[in-house]
Amino acid sequence: MKFERKDFLWGGATASSQIEGAYDVDGKSLTLAEMRPFNPNLDRKNNQEMNNYTKEDYEKSIENIDNLHYPKRFGIDFYHRYKEDIALFKEAGMNIFRMSIAWSRIFPNGDESEPNKDGLEFYRKVFQECKNNGIEVMLTVQHYDVPYPIAKKYKGWSNKKVIDLYIKFVSVIMNEYKDLVKYWLPFNEINVAPWSPITGLGIFKEDYKTSSEYLNAAFQGLHNQFYAQAKVIQIAKTISKNIKMGCMIANMTTYSIDCNPVNVLENLLTQQINRYFFYDVVAKGEYPTYSKRFFKEKNIKIDMTAEELKVIKENTVEYITFSYYMTSTVSKELNNQNGGNLIMGGKNPFLKATEWGWQIDPIGLRITLNELWDRYQLPLFISENGIGVVEKLDKNNTVDDSYRIEYLKEHFIQINEAIGDGVDVFGYTMWTPIDVVSLSTNEMSKRYGLIYVDYDDYHKGTGNRYKKKSFEWFKDFIKTKEL
């Protein structure tokens, strides 16, 4: 089978907090992501690891009194090795690199009057290196790395003052990089807000008396991000026609466990609140009617103004990007739970799962692409998709990851089928082109890349890069487009 679309963008995706390292270099402040330690006793199938740390734990991490290891402070040292990594991406045949920018490098405290010039210069060099290698940049502005000073001083995104800090930050980097970066995503997986407020919003649960107050703060923070995203889309129009503004949402496609109408309805309601709600706001520009009942039943009261809603309505996204790792099942009585990205889901007896419990469903990607295209009629881009596996270098200094080749191939086939269905899907960035520190579990052991990085969970190793078998397969696929 030949992949049909000729102008398709192929590449990989990363996040600054998972690759850069150099956490205390050139004026950078700590981010919340860099303040979560590696837990050697973690339960890989428990997706709540990110939510297990208290405000006190974060504060203690600053001086590291307990002498713990904080993996995201070291990443894979992309800060010093970016030229080497970008050269490998080019060699693999990639023509787009989705990466993020660390707010903490540009405005370390969030509220400085002037940006940090060293931070601006670092990203300029990275973007220029991509351009020199014929690679487009898709830039995520905030990718799960709220600067600690913003969380501490302002209580994160629950505070509307953070909107202005963010808009200032984005205005600076848009003006700085408008000729180097074409594709912009204001927030990574914006829908993480209600599931992990500390991760997406920088909101400490200890700052709220009850769980309902915490939930309300999460939806307030989400609204503030919806407005901030719309506002920077509005601003982008005044800066450059070269800037293309999209969104990034963690896609949660689910199936009813059976054809019992009770479970079918439960799945519909789940899809509305866990999935379509977020797409509807950023693509249609308004809160969907079904969300009003949800807010009423959960006693959620959001401070939103007519002006904010007007800006959201008039500044929707030009294209939709989303992460797709798995599908799961839904039933009224969900007893047999399975692992997943951000939230738990039911097991599907027809699917295999990874060691982390993520169920592999290539056909579900075709279903997802068709559903999103039919509903929104906006160009689609798969900005994250991949498989995490525990891997070791073999005696030939490579990894025989035939399972990753199979995973990628089967998903590429379904993308091709969706294109045949008439879906406008224009690109794909795998998570990840190179091994990184895991978001949820803080492991290096959980490896996603085509390129092996020689670090263990405590960052012992050389940090050297080695091509896996999948690297050569992907390189050949890019040349031939044969599946």
Asked if residue 4 belongs to a domain, the reply is: no
Instruction: Give the pLDDT confidence of 319-346 residue by residue, as tens digits.
Output: 999 999 999 999 988 644 544 445 567 8
Helix residue ranges per DSSP H, 386-428: 402-420
CA 428-432-437 angle, to 5 degrees, is 150
Among 356, 357, 478, which Cα is nearest to 412's? 478
The pLDDT of residue 43: 77
Asked if residue 293 belongs to a domain, the reply is: yes
CA 388-390-394 angle, to 5 degrees, is 125
Q: Give residue 377's Cα distance to chain centre.
A: 22
Average pLDDT over residues 395-412: 97
Q: The CATH number of the domain where 188 resides is what?
A: 3.20.20.80
Asked if residue 2 belongs to a domain, the reply is: no
The pLDDT of residue 25: 95
Instruction: Give the pLDDT confidence of 268-312 residue by residue, as tens digits.
Output: 999 999 999 999 999 999 999 999 999 999 999 999 999 999 999
pLDDT at 440 over 90: no
Instruction: Give the pLDDT confidence of 348-364 residue by residue, as tens digits.
Output: 999 999 888 889 999 99
Asked if residue 450 belongs to a domain, the reply is: yes
Instruction: Give the pLDDT confidence of 138-164 residue by residue, as tens digits.
Output: 999 999 999 999 999 999 999 999 999
The pLDDT of residue 343: 59
What residues are annotated to the active site?
Answer: 384
The pLDDT of residue 44: 72
Per the prediction, the chain carries an average pLDDT of 95
On whether the CB atoms of residues 321 and 306 are closer than 8 A, the answer is no
Average pLDDT over residues 12-16: 98
Among 459, 462, 454, 477, which Cα is nearest to 398's? 454
Asked if residue 1 belongs to a domain, the reply is: no
Strand pairing class (319-323; 380-384) = parallel
The pLDDT of residue 307: 98
* pLDDT more than 90, % of the chain: 92
* pLDDT more than 70, % of the chain: 97
Which residues lie below 8 Å from residue 37, measured CB to CB, with a gap of 6+?
Answer: 61, 68, 69, 70, 71, 442
Tokens of 295: 């807010």
Q: Domain of 89?
A: 9-480
**What radius of gyration do the chain's Cα atoms show?**
21
Among 303, 352, 318, 348, which Cα is nearest to 330's? 348
Average pLDDT over residues 165-170: 98
Asked if residue 97 belongs to a domain, the reply is: yes
Separation between Cα atoms, residue 339 and residue 309, nearest integer Å: 36
On whether the CB atoms of residues 465 and 77 are closer than 8 A, the answer is no
With cut-offs at 50, 70 and 90, classify the pLDDT of residue 220: very high
Among 377, 294, 342, 49, which Cα is nearest to 189's? 342
Which residues lie below 8 Å from residue 320, measured CB to CB, with a gap of 6+?
Answer: 246, 247, 249, 279, 282, 283, 372, 376, 378, 379, 380, 381
The pLDDT of residue 41: 87
The pLDDT of residue 335: 44
Lowest-pLDDT choice from 19-23, 48-52, 264-268: 48-52
Model pTM score: 0.95
Average pLDDT over residues 432-444: 94
On whether the CB atoms of residues 434 and 14 are closer than 8 A, the answer is yes
Is the preceding omega at residue 432 within 30 degrees of 0, hence cis? yes
The pLDDT of residue 336: 45
> How many domains does the structure of the chain reveal?
1
The pLDDT of residue 284: 98
Instruction: Give the pLDDT confidence of 90-149 residue by residue, as tens digits.
Output: 999 999 999 999 999 999 999 999 999 999 999 999 999 999 999 999 999 999 999 999
